Chain A
């Protein structure tokens, strides 16, 4: 039986796990990433058709850990964002020039992000990537956690970072309770090719049966994220391409000219997941494993990256002082740092979804009055913009443009 060790064991080699490995590895920390799937499969084109919104703060972090360079070529800047309710003249326009003229964020295809993070991590000498890793057992002692893999290897680390997503098996295995709140909505995701340029405009439009987002991608392409009540979504998914496109065109009009589907349509049932705590003895939960939110404001991975940046800073600062990176003081620092920001975003995304997916006539007045107030009060609007850009709160130094 082989025995190995690392400072930090990362469970899950998805976007979040790879970013944590890239951050820690760039500071020289010994990291082992354990991923169930095969890397080649994960990196292949059909695996993940989604796009991810990367706000300004998280982009600064990705740049600081040397991962942005490889995905910059695939990133489309979001210059402006329009938010409004279908059928209402009231709208909020977030314009990049109101802040500093730079992009508010970027839209990147998940496979480009994954590829870039993978390239970055494979260049780091202290990071070990293990694919097709099957975890048989996890034991925790006073000063370490040990993972036993199929094949007999025993891997020991001061800390386990669980980055497996909202359905994390390890979270269950360790008995950390997580509450699930199904939204009874399904998100339909697909890519559209269109005739006219999108000019970097992202649109969030609220319909009584769910929100519809149009996100600018490279070239004359946009990504659609369309949340619908479950049965409606199933019906829409079953439509022929032409009929589906007609439904889509009805939702956002014809300002992009002729449209066509590019690639398959994907659908994901939406559920809010909240772990009771983000840490346990020798364990931290990161990203969606800690809490998975509604995609309505495109904040899910931004929140995950704030976890990653805060955790990386906490661990690196302790290791640079020679302190145990996984002791209760380290865990308490991470937990208290991340809890408030998490709750705010759960409340914001959940609240927006509830507020707009409701047909009470007086709520319509509340919504439009709210949007009107935001649009008419520039300081309030800039505050919301800076929040959406991930530039508010107690930011890790990598999200302020400083090195780790």
Chain B
């Protein structure tokens, strides 16, 4: 069991507010477009799809690990993927199920961990675990599970926070305490992984890192953007060969 019980309780309290883009999940809603654009670009390049289509991921089996209220799972489904989405917090899954039914999307939501699915031998073309690895006790065990869940030739996408002075100041001090983007105590800086550490874990488990990008805040336009330096938040893509 890699999911921490205290962490689960914290997200359950927030579950009902997942879908209010002006509510407590506002930062995730604001992050979504830039993340989705990156995921779409990489997935389209990797699977040879046309980015301008409305359903470019048509027919791909996708897994969203740590799906919360479904903020990533729903867009993936709208883009055409056949989505399984898991989260250990039952309240989040309940919120996600109701919301998907309301907007008419067929998504297979389950209260489960990556280990549960991997043990059953399920595999996917596209596996996403965004902002998950910094919340688990044993990141390397999670990477091993994600590797098992990714099909040969499939794509794994991760996002997390770097362990730098900038992430301590920007990711925790600013985001949790000054700007109030996240509830204080959401993150523990000591658990953060550097991109090099994460890449090493991926290689150990048969995954080849193929792309890395930083995500930054563009204060002038009040939005998140992709940046070269992965100094605070970053996304990493790997292919299972």
Q: Is the CB of B102 within 8 A of A142?
A: yes
Given the known inter-chain contacts A321-B40, A323-B32, please indicate yes or no for A143 contacting B103, CB distance below 8 A.
yes
Q: A182 contacts the other chain (Cβ, under 8 Å)?
A: no
Q: Is the CB of B21 within 8 A of A329?
A: yes
Interface of B is mostly: helix
Which A residues from 291 to 322 make CB contacts under 8 A with B?
A: 318-322
Q: Is the CB of B22 within 8 A of A328?
A: yes
Q: A28 contacts the other chain (Cβ, under 8 Å)?
A: yes
A-to-B contact residues, CB < 8 Å: 5, 27-29, 141-144, 158, 318-324, 327-329
Contacts of B104 in A (CB 8 A): 5
Q: B27 contacts the other chain (Cβ, under 8 Å)?
A: no
User: Can you report 21 residue pairs joining A to B where beta carbons are below 8 Å apart?
Assistant: A27-B54, A28-B54, A29-B54, A142-B19, A143-B103, A144-B103, A320-B40, A321-B32, A321-B40, A322-B36, A322-B40, A322-B74, A322-B76, A322-B79, A323-B32, A323-B33, A323-B78, A324-B74, A327-B21, A328-B21, A329-B30
Chain A: CB-nearest residue to B104: A5
Chain B: CB-nearest residue to A320: B54
Q: Is the CB of B21 within 8 A of A322?
A: no
Contacts of B21 in A (CB 8 A): 327-329
B residues contacting the other copy or chain, number (CB 8 A): 25
Q: B139 contacts the other chain (Cβ, under 8 Å)?
A: no
5 tightest Cβ-Cβ pairs between the two chains A and B: A322-B75, A322-B78, A322-B79, A321-B36, A28-B54
Interchain nearest-CB distance for B77 vs A (Å): 7
Give the docked Cα–Cα distance between A141 and B56 (Å). Answer: 29
Interface of A is mostly: loop
Contacts of A324 in B (CB 8 A): 74, 103
Give the docked Cα–Cα distance between A328 and B25 (Å). Answer: 13
Interchain nearest-CB distance for B51 vs A (Å): 7
Interchain nearest-CB distance for A313 vs B (Å): 13
B-to-A contact residues, CB < 8 Å: 19, 21-22, 29-30, 32-33, 36-37, 40, 51-54, 56, 74-79, 99, 102-104
Give the docked Cα–Cα distance between A378 and B157 (Å). Answer: 55
Chain A: CB-nearest residue to B37: A321
Given the known inter-chain contacts A27-B54, A327-B21, A329-B21, please indicate yes or no for A321 contacting B99, CB distance below 8 A.
no
Q: Is the CB of B76 within 8 A of A143?
A: no
Contacts of B30 in A (CB 8 A): 329
Give the docked Cα–Cα distance between A142 and B23 (Å). Answer: 14
Contacts of B40 in A (CB 8 A): 320-322
Give the docked Cα–Cα distance between A143 and B100 (Å). Answer: 10
Give the docked Cα–Cα distance between A28 and B80 (Å). Answer: 14
Give the docked Cα–Cα distance between A29 and B78 (Å). Answer: 12
Contacts of B77 in A (CB 8 A): 322
Interchain nearest-CB distance for A320 vs B (Å): 6
Chain B: CB-nearest residue to A319: B54
Give the docked Cα–Cα distance between A143 and B21 (Å). Answer: 12
Contacts of B74 in A (CB 8 A): 322, 324
Interchain nearest-CB distance for A241 vs B (Å): 55
Chain B: CB-nearest residue to A317: B33
Q: Is the CB of B75 within 8 A of A321?
A: yes
Chain B: CB-nearest residue to A403: B52
Contacts of A328 in B (CB 8 A): 21-22
Give the docked Cα–Cα distance between A29 and B37 (Å). Answer: 18
Give the docked Cα–Cα distance between A356 and B74 (Å). Answer: 56
Contacts of A318 in B (CB 8 A): 33
Quick one: which of A141, A320, A322 has the most chain B CB within 10 A?
Answer: A322
Give the docked Cα–Cα distance between A5 and B104 (Å). Answer: 10
Interchain nearest-CB distance for B218 vs A (Å): 15
Given the known inter-chain contacts A322-B36, A322-B76, please indicate yes or no for A329 contacting B29, CB distance below 8 A.
yes
Interchain nearest-CB distance for A146 vs B (Å): 12
Contacts of A142 in B (CB 8 A): 19, 102
Give the docked Cα–Cα distance between A319 and B40 (Å). Answer: 12
Chain A: CB-nearest residue to B51: A320
Chain A: CB-nearest residue to B222: A336
Q: Is the CB of A28 within 8 A of B53?
A: yes
Contacts of B76 in A (CB 8 A): 322
Q: Is the CB of B75 within 8 A of A323?
A: yes
Contacts of B19 in A (CB 8 A): 142
Chain A: CB-nearest residue to B34: A321
